[in-house]
Structure 1
């Protein structure tokens, strides 16, 4: 029987991977009820204590759109930043940036979409209008010395528009980076990506002139492909992977989006491959168990379940 040729065979892995921990923002924004600010603050402290160097903290959006993060300013005012740790905050517009600067935020993120349907559902704007809105935000943030992470959602597929053509992704990704973003996170918002598609997308971006060092990946596990997709991305040179404590998250504007890749599941894979992360798996498991207690349900992470069952 002919099994074909593995296009990834023999490709090296990065010696170290940075996990962008998105639990406090992307994880908790999809909860049915708001989590107390004291719990959020302790979650962030626990994640930093576990060894995370990048913890996405919250979002300065209007409470009407994401009521679960309405306490963002209170959370940020009480934050005790640890040396060497980045605490990105999502900002939707210039007003959000103004609030972030007033609060002493050092890293921000803007959240765009490759597809028109999701851009309208998420930002109430077209893709072009969204990029126009981001332009002064990114420029001002960079002038102030802030790092700017650009998120692109629906990079691999959209529940309303179907598969996303790679030329379309290249166009929006290139324009996003030209705004001045320091990093671009490719979002598989509804979890439809497969390893072959990941290879095609990353190869196309690099061929267009984008440095692999500026690319991060953000996979959801709807079809159980998040770990396979992460490994594929690493073998293509990606060394920043988004993950969420306990696999929390989704997207309130895309009903078919299930949880993010669980940080613990990613750690199990990376540590088994000999890839350094600086993150303590045992502390992450303890943190996810603690958080699950506050949320009133068990963690969906397979590793958390296996190590505590």
Structure 2
């Protein structure tokens, strides 16, 4: 069978999510799956249920989904088995209280397929940390924030948000790239906002970056360590607040998806929806103006804990 034979279910899988975003019928998405009762299928189905609940809670009207994907690698393991890695760019348009908004994500997937009597079908689809590509910078929909959205202070929220908007879908070549890049990205954003590094000869002290070859503090690049540094304040002078409504542009949210006390992810606030709730940018699964609670994430569980940090001016 020609290559387009095994690419067909992959194309339908991702483009079907556009229709699912608007119409909300998850079962239609799984027509090209070999085992509808597989664990990963149930997890995907529940993720879309959570996303639909989130839409209702936000009083969100979905308008349109756009998906582009490119195959990064494909390997035919046997005559009837195929594995491929794909990079996916998804853009969702929606309306809240008459205001038009957009959300974007860049992600990578490892997909396994098998050929049966009815043709090729998906056996497994696993999200992976986004694999940066030079071409990804061309996917940006960058809109600089207005002057009125930022406070004039020693922490320049405008610059932090501009940095997050500029580099949400790419890697600044001045910094090392990490497989799990979320904290490295957030540290860059905070530093771009004018927060000075706190240098130390020890990697478990301060908050600093000196270059490649592991010449950075754990707090610069490890989610749990940055959360601990924000708790101490450090050069960020961050203060924990009790709710997302208290956050401002350029503030930070930390996530413990499993609720086990080990913090795994960080985001930066780059906008607010009409309900006053934060929208965030992030790396690893690269996101732009994603709703702050991450209930649509593969990593989210009902035990998820959040910490909200305001960086004062």
Q: What TM-score, normalized to structure 1?
A: 0.29
More strand by share: 2
More helix by share: 1
Q: What TM-score, normalized to structure 2?
A: 0.29
